[in-house]
Structure 1
Amino acid sequence: MAFRIDDMDRKILGELQRDAGQSLDEIAKNVGSSKTPVWNRIRKMKEAGIIGQQTVLLDAEALGFEATFFVLIRTSEHEADWQNKFLSALRDRPEVQEAHRLAGDIDYILKVRVKNARAYDVFYQALISEVKIHNVTALLSMEELKSTVSLPL
């Protein structure tokens, strides 16, 4: 049976997306409820898989990661063996923040966060030494205009 969320669940999720570090008392106050019902709803949504891993968002630039590259990959390889090797190579590299398999002319797109262009080249050289790739295009983001992990509830 699918878990159904109601308006109160949406309010709670909105508060958690805004700041998951809030106390239960703060969340309850902000959604117009009390602590125990909010805790029960959060627990149920965790059990249902609606709420996943909780983490902290870091300021990449403050930590010296000033370059974001979007890497477009075309491959002539589509066998399971190649895909497993490629996926393993991506998982082993913390610079890869996102990886998507696409429909269309481009097979994959990666979001790669590094300190600078030289660090990107090190990443690129390591990747192509492990996995055969037909074509790679790297696009440097000049400015991040919007970034969010929040869903439009």
Structure 2
Amino acid sequence: MDAIDAKILRYLQEDASISVAELAQRVNLSQTPCWKRIQRLESSGVIQRRVALVDPDKIGLSLTAFVAVEAYDHSESWMQQFADFVSGIPEVMEIYRMAGDVDYILRVVVPDMAAYDHFYKQLVKAIPLKNVTSRFAMERIKSTTAFVLRS
């Protein structure tokens, strides 16, 4: 990846709907070489997919919970069962396996506390867990999907 690729990624992270013509102009390339670079970034997996970012509040998903999970068991089979189960819950937006005092952090987005309670009961009923601690976001101050790219 070179400096031009980094510029392309910066612009696409700001707005993936930018036309190839506009993007090519911004990075000082003609359209065909710019398009070929985008295709290479996609085929190599640098660009995983292009999506529309939706404001959760505007679609009625106003409660974000960060759920810390301590594993009941640290066997490979338990970890796979846990990962498979929580990956299948649509309200779980992100899952991280952690180092430190908790084993997993989940970001869960739901309409309200009743929906969170339903999620929580579903989680603790399905898989044996040592401990679950939830923290609720009061305000989203910064939210971005763009990575810092140094060229």
Q: TM-score, normalised by structure 1?
A: 0.94
- Give, as a single letter, the amino acid of the residue that structure 2 aligns with 1:57: L
Partner in structure 2 of residue 57 of structure 1: 53
Partner in structure 2 of residue 148 of structure 1: 144
SS of match in other structure, 2:59: coil
Which of 1 and 2 has higher RCO (CA within 8 Å, sep 6+)?
Answer: 2
Please report how far the alpha carbon of residue 140 of structure 1 lies from its aligned counterpart in structure 2 after TM superposition. Answer: 0.4
For 1:24, which of 8, 12, 20 is the aligned residue?
20
Partner in structure 2 of residue 93 of structure 1: 89
Q: For structure 1, which runs of at least 5 residues remain unmatched after alignment?
A: none
Count of aligned pairs: 149
d(CA) in 2 for partners of 1:142, 1:65: 13
Q: For structure 2, which runs of at least 5 residues remain unmatched after alignment?
A: none
Q: Segments of 4+ in structure 1 off by > 4 A?
A: none
d(CA) in 2 for partners of 1:89, 1:127: 8
Q: Deviations over 1:59-86 (max 9, x none)?
A: 1100000000000111231112211211
When the two chains are superposed, the root-mean-square deviation of aligned CA atoms in Å is 0.9
For 1:131, which of 127, 132, 144 is the aligned residue?
127
